């Protein structure tokens, strides 16, 4: 059995410096331009995955009068699980929404009108019937949220494609020109042809790409998990230098003899402190109690390279006899990087899993297999915490908003103590929701937590960040949402939500003006480009309008969470031990 350690090796002192980098990055979000939040280039707005958007237009008073912008078209083709992105200075200087679908369609939409600037199909998606392992989707195409690199004006994404009608399945990592949609030179990267680790070869047909992509120090990171724990899958983290896509580095969990699993599958994907990427992993199989990368928060050095040092990973002491045995994945919610002024330690990672617990970890020294800095049971029932949580700070303290008991919105606080603790704050029961996000006028004031009632009433809701009181009492229904996957973004007085077949836009009264396009033209295109590596067929999608309905009322919040002081080390009574799959022999 691998043992945890509280020691910090000198080879990892550089992580102490990365803490100050993240603090500077977080504090810089409080410096707001007069025009509000601009450029949403990645999932939940920042590499910490905090989900916080600063926009002076979103006072609590104005947000209460939010309305859907009926003049915004937003029609697209395909199911949507990824968060949209926003670029202030898009093609021809136009403010632009980027949306992707499971049909492998990529769109650049005008952020004011919702009209199509350019569209691109990057290859035929893989139908459910052509996959040996059944995903929870009808079609496998683009699932994870892409990432934009503004310096190179490139959009990066992963698409599952078939070039021959379903016989061959590929995961292609693509780089598209942000202004035209054309594939950049040297791309795409065929993951199965390039990714190996510890004798294991990436097998595209059994791996799903759900977690959001990230760029850290000019390396693109893409995480992969399973299709419902089928076959001999692994949790993969693939690194591709954006300036040298021919140089691919990969890491995989569960690669010791006879083991597999450890999926990277939380929708929030890869988080970063500006220097190193962090991931959470899920359950592993047939380990015999010897830890092999599963049920953990892991920090990687650039590459990705995993040091194996206990300061670079954390797994709960019950990872094997409880989490692995009862399918209570820690990986159901990605790592959330949080700084808590006055706490010791103050630079933290929040991890949450399907066991209903939240954990606080010391970001400078994760500790190996050991007790966390603090933990609490924050969900009344198991298998509820599947989400990307959001974090924010007000004058009342530091909060984490998440999808908790009954799949409804909840929030807990992190105390500024030595050590910090987890305390109940508020909950909004009875309305299933997607992953939350937050707005503030300056990073502290007018804090509002937003959720879409995905799997519930299909409405957008807004709640006071300190109390959970209703700020926005519900939108027109938003069709085509998906459970914990659906979330929104904020830019220039608007909220955008991507759903099946449509991007919706909501606007606050007197919202900040959208910029006038710049005088410097950039090329645009509506035709598909031929990839430079593995060619895939292209198509022009046909738009389908979505109808709207009348609003329905929301539910007032009431208190909920009861924290506990220590990790739960005994199995919950309600889960049943899941049967181990009988996998086919390794190829």
pLDDT at res. 244: 98
pLDDT digits (tens, 9 = 90+) for 535-574: 333 333 333 333 333 333 333 333 333 333 333 323 333 3
pLDDT grade for 470, boundaries at 50, 70 and 90: very high
pLDDT digits (tens, 9 = 90+) for 175-212: 999 999 999 999 999 999 999 999 999 999 999 999 99
Rounded to whole angstroms, the Cα distance separating 462 from 433 reads 12
User: Buried (b) or exposed (e) across 525-557, using 16+ Cβ within 10 A?
Assistant: beebbebbbbebebbebeeeebeeeeeeebbeb
* Residue 15 confidence (pLDDT) above 50: no
* Contact indicator for 376, 412 with CB cutoff of 8 Å: yes
pLDDT at res. 380: 81
Rounded to whole angstroms, the Cα distance separating 198 from 260 reads 12
pLDDT at res. 11: 39
Residue, of 321 and 35, whose pLDDT is higher? 321
Average pLDDT over residues 30-41: 61
pLDDT at res. 136: 76
* Residue 355 confidence (pLDDT) above 70: yes
Burial zone of 232 (CB within 10 Å; 0-12 exposed, 13-18 middle, 19+ buried):
buried
Residue owning tokens 């103590």: 417
Q: Classify residue 129 by its DSSP letter.
A: G
pLDDT at res. 37: 55
Residue-range domain boundaries for the chain: 12-507
- CATH numeric code, 12-507: 2.140.10.10
Average pLDDT over residues 237-261: 97
pLDDT grade for 494, boundaries at 50, 70 and 90: very high
CA-based nearest residue to 473, from 424, 441, 428, 509: 428
Average pLDDT over residues 303-331: 96
CA distances (Å), 111 to each of 72, 95, 108, 550, in order? 8, 5, 9, 24
Average pLDDT over residues 242-270: 97
pLDDT at res. 404: 86
pLDDT at res. 134: 81
Percent of the chain whose predicted confidence (pLDDT) is above 70: 80
CA-based nearest residue to 513, from 55, 40, 46: 55
pLDDT grade for 512, boundaries at 50, 70 and 90: low
Burial zone of 413 (CB within 10 Å; 0-12 exposed, 13-18 middle, 19+ buried):
buried
Average pLDDT over residues 157-167: 97
**At residue 145, what are phi and psi to the nearest 5 degrees?**
-70, 130
Q: Which of 64-68, 88-92, 268-272, 578-582 has the lowest mean pLDDT?
A: 578-582
* Contact indicator for 42, 148 with CB cutoff of 8 Å: yes
CA-based nearest residue to 528, from 42, 104, 193: 104
* Contact indicator for 172, 123 with CB cutoff of 8 Å: yes
pLDDT at res. 474: 84
pLDDT at res. 511: 64
Q: Which of 30-39, 174-183, 234-243, 567-576 has the lowest mean pLDDT?
A: 567-576
* Contact indicator for 46, 489 with CB cutoff of 8 Å: no
pLDDT at res. 475: 78
* Residue 348 confidence (pLDDT) above 60: yes
Q: Which of 109-123, 318-332, 572-586 has the lowest mean pLDDT?
A: 572-586
Q: Which of 325-329, 390-394, 407-411, 512-516 has the lowest mean pLDDT?
A: 512-516
- 157 DSSP β-pair partners: 174
Q: Classify residue 444 by its DSSP letter.
A: S
Tokens of 350: 């929040």
- 148 DSSP β-pair partners: 155
Q: Is 57 helix (H, G, I), strand (E, B) or coil?
A: coil
* Residue 496 confidence (pLDDT) above 80: yes
Instruction: Compute the mean pLDDT over every residue in the chain, rounded to the nearest whole number.
Output: 85
- 284 DSSP β-pair partners: 261
pLDDT grade for 263, boundaries at 50, 70 and 90: very high
What counts of helices (H) and strands (E) characterise the chain? 3, 41
* Residue 231 confidence (pLDDT) above 80: yes
pLDDT digits (tens, 9 = 90+) for 131-158: 998 887 889 999 999 999 999 999 999 9
pLDDT at res. 479: 92
pLDDT at res. 514: 57
Number of neighbouring beta carbons within 10 Å of residue 7 = 11
Average pLDDT over residues 148-174: 98
Rounded to whole angstroms, the Cα distance separating 490 from 346 reads 28
* Residue 252 confidence (pLDDT) above 50: yes
pLDDT at res. 407: 83
pLDDT at res. 429: 80
């Amino acid at each position: 059995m691998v043992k945890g350690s509280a020691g910090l090796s000198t080879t990892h002192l550089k992580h102490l410096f990365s803490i100050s980098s993240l603090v500077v990055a977080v504090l810089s979000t409080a410096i707001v331009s007069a025009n509000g939040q601009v450029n949403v280039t990645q999932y939940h707005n920042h590499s910490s995955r905090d989900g916080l958007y600063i926009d002076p237009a979103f006072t609590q008073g104005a947000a209460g009068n939010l309305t859907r912008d009926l003049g915004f078209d937003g029609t697209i083709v395909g199911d949507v699980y990824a968060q949209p992105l926003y670029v202030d200075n898009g093609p021809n200087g136009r403010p632009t929404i980027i949306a992707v679908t499971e049909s492998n369609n990529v769109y650049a939409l005008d952020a004011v009108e919702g009209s199509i600037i350019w569209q691109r199909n990057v290859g035929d998606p893989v139908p459910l019937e052509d996959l040996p392992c059944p995903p929870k989707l009808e079609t496998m195409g683009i699932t994870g949220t892409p990432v934009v690199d503004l310096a190179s004006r490139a959009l990066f994404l992963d698409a599952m494609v078939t070039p021959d009608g379903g016989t061959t399945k590929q995961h292609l990592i693509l780089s598209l020109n942000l202004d035209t949609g054309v594939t950049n030179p040297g791309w795409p990267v065929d993951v199965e042809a390039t990714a190996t680790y510890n004798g294991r070869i990436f097998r595209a047909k059994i791996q799903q790409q759900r977690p959001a992509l990230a760029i850290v120090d000019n390396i693109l990171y893409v995480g992969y998990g399973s299709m419902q724990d089928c076959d001999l899958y692994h949790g993969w983290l693939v690194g591709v230098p954006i300036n040298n896509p021919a140089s691919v580095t990969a890491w995989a969990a569960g690669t010791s003899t006879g083991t597999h699993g450890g999926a990277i599958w939380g929708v929030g994907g890869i988080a970063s402190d500006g220097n190193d990427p962090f991931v959470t992993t899920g359950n592993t199989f047939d380990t015999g109690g010897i830890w092999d990368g599963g049920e953990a928060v892991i920090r990687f050095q650039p590459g990705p390279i995993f040091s194996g040092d206990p300061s670079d990973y954390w797994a709960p002491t019950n990872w094997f006899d409880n989490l692995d045995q009862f399918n209570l994945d820690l990986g159901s919610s990605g790592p959330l990087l949080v700084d808590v002024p006055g706490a010791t330690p103050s630079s933290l990672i929040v991890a949450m899993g399907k066991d209903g617990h939240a954990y606080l970890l010391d970001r400078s020294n994760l500790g190996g297999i050991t007790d966390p800095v603090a933990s609490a049971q924050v969900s009344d029932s198991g298998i509820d915490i599947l989400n990307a949580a959001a974090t924010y700070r007000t004058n009342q303290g530091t909060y984490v908003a998440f999808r908790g008991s009954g799949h409804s919105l909840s929030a807990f606080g992190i105390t500024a103590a030595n050590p910090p603790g987890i305390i109940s704050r508020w909950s909004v029961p009875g309305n299933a929701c997607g992953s939350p996000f937050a707005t503030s006028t300056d990073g502290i004031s007018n804090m509002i937590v937003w959720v879409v009632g995905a799997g519930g009433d299909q409405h957008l809701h807004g709640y006071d960040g300190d109390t959970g009181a209703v700020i926005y009492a519900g939108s027109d229904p938003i069709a085509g949402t998906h459970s914990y996957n659906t979330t929104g973004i904020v830019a220039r007085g608007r909220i955008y939500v991507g759903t099946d077949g449509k991007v919706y836009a909501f606007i606050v009264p007197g919202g900040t003006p959208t910029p006038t396009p710049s005088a410097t033209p950039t090329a645009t295109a509506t035709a598909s480009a031929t990839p430079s590596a593995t060619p895939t067929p292209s198509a022009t999608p046909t738009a389908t309008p979505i109808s709207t309905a009348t609003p329905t009322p929301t539910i007032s919040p009431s208190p909920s969470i009861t924290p506990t002081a220590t990790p739960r080390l005994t199995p919950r009574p309600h889960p049943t031990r899941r049967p181990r799959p009988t996998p086919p022999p390794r190829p």
